[in-house]
Amino acid sequence: MSNKEDKLGVEHNVQPTKEKKIKVLWYSDFLCRTGFGNVAQSIMKRLLATGKYEFKVIAINHSGKPYNETTSPYYDFKDVAVYPANDNRTQNADFLGKAQLSDAITNEEFDLLFVLQDTFNLVPFHTLIQEARAKKDKPFKYVFYFPCDGAFKDLWVTNAIATADYPVVYTNYGKNEIAKIAPELAEKTDIIYHGFDSERFKVLPEEERQTFRKEFFKCGKDTIVVTNVNRNQPRKDLVRSIDAFVKFNKKFPNSKYYIHCFAKDPYGFALDDYLIKYYTPEERGNIMFPNADKMAHGGFPESFMNYIYGASDMLISTTLGEGWGLSATEAMACETPIIIPNNTSAPEIVGENEERGYLAESGNESITIMNDNEHRRPLTDVNSLVEKMCHVANNPEEAKAKAKVGRQWLNNYSWDSIAEKFDKIFEGAYCTLLDERKKTQLDKLVTADEKIAKEKLAYSKDNTEETKTDVAKEVKKD
């Protein structure tokens, strides 16, 4: 095992091998606890196990701290060269690492470019990617995996998505939104759902469940624990979920609401201030948030999240739109009943007939929020959500039966099966790339041969003319 130090001073253990691997330039959140990061890490971990790929990662939301075998939750990626997207060249203004990605696309040699990101963030790279593919001696193939949490703008489709050789969207909802703008592009777009880890998210034994409820939620068996796992940002509309819980709590006073996010977030709301301003101490007394210091220093491991989901009686959401909805499927994997708004991808997760959970009405009213690309977002109907929460509380056996159906449905979408689909796309893209490279080489050889033949012909003609002239001179002398 040899050690190779990258430009950041971070050592990566690189296993030397004679076997040629497929070189992948990977751009996504990485080594972090965001939704994009969890998806990227789940896919790459399994692709690494095939032994076929060599990755270089430009990692959004990664601090660049060295790996630690005993404490790092990301030790699976110790052999991967990972570079923070924001390398401080732009004084934190470029947290998405557009400068880093531009440099890599232009100057690095790789076979595949894989991007997991929102479409609107890729619009600036359209021309760059096109020019790089045309100019490079060894062109590359581009695989783009992206969400759709609302209507696309035309440019996101005709520019960002159309640039990809292999566009892949999370859901049927997303593919249908592409078809509204570019039907032919929708035809070539694959759909790959997110997966789940059956070892990390599973049903808790009842004794463990009750112990956790007592220690973490500070409640007993008869308390109805309602949970929401979402970032504190405007699109998640958490204040509406608080309004719904307060109404529910009046009907079921033995209930508690746990919101797994920062109570204060610079990109969201000061939820604790909202509670103080609009609700009495009694109304807000059954609402709780996680420890802020714990959240700020790495958050909670997935094993702990299994307990949060599994010890809850229901998971709710008031999101204004989701590309997928990881927290909903993670809760479903723990056989916890879910109630999510009937918008964007939700019907695909719950089922249009609510066979795997419950859908709250959404879209009777809408809202446009700042820095959201002028989306008109569907609002969750608070009264509908409260009705569904009451139904779950009054019909726990029915709710649990739906949750079991949800878990069975999820068994079709393990991360192993999702990674296999990407492995097939990567292999297919690489085989096509090799064929194209061979054709290019043959074309160059043919062009070179044609040039030589033309030069020979020109030389031959010149010599013939010279010979004719010499003969003519000799005849004239005679």
The predicted-structure confidence for 304-336, as pLDDT tens digits, reads as follows 999 999 999 999 999 999 999 999 999 999 999
Regarding whether 165 and 68 lie in a shared domain, the answer is yes
Rounded-to-integer distance, Cα 441 and Cα 18, Å: 24
φ, ψ at 253 (rounded to 5°): -60, -20
pLDDT for res 144: 98
Mean pLDDT of 156-172: 97
Statement: residue 466 has pLDDT above 50:
yes
pLDDT for res 464: 58
Regarding whether 181 and 298 lie in a shared domain, the answer is no
pLDDT for res 446: 59
Question: What's at 432, amino acid-wise?
Answer: T
Q: How confident is the model at residue 211 (pLDDT cuts 50, 70, 90)?
A: very high
Domain that holds residue 171: 2-196
Identify whether 454 is part of a domain. no
Alpha-carbon distances of 477 from 319, 469, 472, 473, 474, rounded to whole Å = 102, 13, 9, 6, 5
Query: Last residue of some domain: 369, 390, 413?
Result: 413
- With the C-alpha atoms ordered 455, 461, 466, 471, is the resulting torsion angle positive or negative? positive
Specify whether the CB–CB gap between 138 and 437 falls below 8 A: yes
pLDDT for res 68: 62
Rounded-to-integer distance, Cα 38 and Cα 231, Å: 14
Mean pLDDT of 24-46: 94
Regarding whether 183 and 215 lie in a shared domain, the answer is no
> How many other C-beta atoms are found inside a 10 Å radius of the C-beta of residue 391?
14
pLDDT for res 15: 40
Regarding whether 313 and 211 lie in a shared domain, the answer is yes
pLDDT for res 162: 97
Statement: residue 460 has pLDDT above 90:
no
By C-alpha distance, which of 363, 356, 364 is closest to 339? 356
CA angle 407, 74, 25 (to 5 degrees): 95
By C-alpha distance, which of 289, 299, 283, 311 is closest to 215? 311
Q: How confident is the model at residue 449 (pLDDT cuts 50, 70, 90)?
A: low
Query: Last residue of some domain: 378, 413, 448?
Result: 413
Rounded-to-integer distance, Cα 208 and Cα 61, Å: 34
Alpha-carbon distances of 385 from 241, 279, 339, 437, rounded to whole Å = 9, 19, 8, 56
Rounded-to-integer distance, Cα 191 and Cα 421, Å: 10
Burial string for 126-163 (b: 16+ CB within 10 Å, else e) reads beebeebbeeeeeebbbbbbbbbbbbbbeebbbbbbbb
Identify whether 130 is part of a domain. yes
pLDDT for res 71: 59
Statement: residue 455 has pLDDT above 90:
no
Question: Which of the residue ranges 260-264, 278-282, 293-297 would you say has the lowest mean pLDDT?
Answer: 293-297
Specify whether the CB–CB gap between 338 and 410 falls below 8 A: no
The predicted-structure confidence for 240-277, as pLDDT tens digits, reads as follows 999 999 999 999 999 999 999 999 998 899 999 999 99
Mean pLDDT of 43-68: 89
pLDDT for res 76: 82
Regarding whether 162 and 251 lie in a shared domain, the answer is no
Specify whether the CB–CB gap between 334 and 203 falls below 8 A: yes
pLDDT for res 1: 34
Statement: residue 4 has pLDDT above 60:
no
Identify whether 251 is part of a domain. yes
> How many other C-beta atoms are found inside a 10 Å radius of the C-beta of residue 255?
20
Identify whether 442 is part of a domain. no
pLDDT for res 416: 96
Higher pLDDT, 98 or 222: 222
Identify whether 453 is part of a domain. no
By C-alpha distance, which of 108, 129, 135 is closest to 24? 108
pLDDT for res 442: 76
Regarding whether 218 and 183 lie in a shared domain, the answer is no
By C-alpha distance, which of 60, 58, 54, 59 is closest to 24? 54
365: domain CATH number is: 3.40.50.2000
Rounded-to-integer distance, Cα 60 and Cα 207, Å: 40
pLDDT for res 11: 35
Mean pLDDT of 275-283: 96
The predicted-structure confidence for 133-159, as pLDDT tens digits, reads as follows 888 878 899 999 999 999 999 999 999
Question: Which of the residue ranges 2-16, 27-41, 358-372, 432-446 would you say has the lowest mean pLDDT?
Answer: 2-16
pLDDT for res 459: 56
Higher pLDDT, 292 or 156: 156
Regarding whether 228 and 167 lie in a shared domain, the answer is no
Rounded-to-integer distance, Cα 10 and Cα 82, Å: 9
Regarding whether 89 and 24 lie in a shared domain, the answer is yes
pLDDT for res 374: 86
Number of domains the chain is built from: 2
Statement: residue 13 has pLDDT above 50:
no
Q: How confident is the model at residue 69 (pLDDT cuts 50, 70, 90)?
A: low
Mean pLDDT of 282-305: 86
> How many other C-beta atoms are found inside a 10 Å radius of the C-beta of residue 427?
14
Mean pLDDT of 84-100: 75
pLDDT for res 292: 85
Higher pLDDT, 232 or 92: 232
Q: Which residues pair with 22 in a beta bridge?
A: 53
pLDDT for res 235: 95
pLDDT for res 33: 81
Question: Which of the residue ranges 100-109, 256-265, 450-459 would you say has the lowest mean pLDDT?
Answer: 450-459
Q: Which residues pair with 143 in a beta bridge?
A: 114, 166
The predicted-structure confidence for 215-233, as pLDDT tens digits, reads as follows 999 999 999 999 999 999 9
Query: Last residue of some domain: 173, 196, 219?
Result: 196
What order of strands is seen across the sheet that includes strand 53-60?
81-84, 53-60, 22-29, 112-116, 141-146, 166-169, 190-191
Rounded-to-integer distance, Cα 265 and Cα 233, Å: 8
Rounded-to-integer distance, Cα 59 and Cα 192, Å: 22
Regarding whether 222 and 148 lie in a shared domain, the answer is no
57: domain CATH number is: 3.40.50.11930
Which strand (E) or helix (H) includes residue 142? strand 141-146
Specify whether the CB–CB gap between 84 and 62 falls below 8 A: yes
Regarding whether 114 and 89 lie in a shared domain, the answer is yes
Statement: residue 463 has pLDDT above 70:
no
Specify whether the CB–CB gap between 186 and 175 falls below 8 A: yes
Regarding whether 230 and 158 lie in a shared domain, the answer is no
Mean pLDDT of 163-190: 98
Q: How confident is the model at residue 70 (pLDDT cuts 50, 70, 90)?
A: low
Specify whether the CB–CB gap between 313 and 396 falls below 8 A: yes
Identify whether 267 is part of a domain. yes
pTM of the full structure: 0.86
Regarding whether 211 and 192 lie in a shared domain, the answer is no
Mean pLDDT of the chain: 88
Mean pLDDT of 167-181: 98
